[in-house]
Amino acid sequence: MKDWTGKRYWLVGASEGLGAALAQQMSAAGAHLVLSARGRDRLERLAARLPGPAEVLPVDIADDGSVAAAARALGEIDGVVLLAGVYWPMRAQDWDSARGVTMADVNFTGYLRVLGAVVPGMVDRDRGHIVITGSLAGFGGLPGAIGYAASKAGTMALAECLHADLHRTGVEVQLVNPGFIRTRLTDLNTFAMPMLMEPEEAARAMFRHMNSRRFATSFPAPFAWLFRFGRFLPQWLYVRLFA
């Protein structure tokens, strides 16, 4: 297990769900956390509940100016965990351009904004830890997932590119691909969600991975295996199984 004592980590998307549950795990392990999301109130309530030191730094990762201002206030960090995300179910037959663009701008482009603020410093110091949250939905096209699946696929490719560039340096890159987690976002789904996880259970799985030396993890198994191996199927069979 890694030594988290006194390590300063920026958690982006920490106010609820998986982010808040992971904050509890990391704080209990001794990390010094910088908690970010759009709203200050929930972040302050979370900070008050944590056993270790925590700072509150509101940021809207869909806004260039907000990210730049947060980066100036942030100072040097040991690691960043990107957890922010938005989701609405959307079929091509029910296209909503505003929601589609918002999903792309938060789930993918927002991560680029944040990484642009921290990666150059980590590269210069040859030290750092980057953790990116993808999704099982990013492994392939899915029905009703216009916007979300595509943005998560981009996010996962972004993590793979970072890992390819930095795997022989002092900057560690990790990717976490969870399945369904019970949050206000998945509450929007009207279909059955196999192997639905509670945020605390998913946070434990994520933190175990962060304590490992592996690049990527996908959970829960065996649900994750279906998505991982689905990308190797012939397209006609993939569509028949998933769509």
| Exposed/middle/buried for residue 7 (C-beta within 10 Å: 0-12, 13-18, 19+) | middle
CA 122 → CA 116, 119, 128, distances in Å? Answer: 11, 5, 5
| Exposed/middle/buried for residue 115 (C-beta within 10 Å: 0-12, 13-18, 19+) | buried
Which residue in 9, 87, 111, 148 is the catalytic one?
148
Cα–Cα distance between 105 and 37 in angstroms, integer? 15
Question: Going by C-beta distance under 8 Å and a sequence separation of 6 or more, which residues neighbour residue 44?
Answer: 56
Residue 148 annotated in active site? yes
CA 92 → CA 100, 101, 137, 145, distances in Å? Answer: 10, 14, 16, 9
Catalytic residue numbers, as ranges: 148
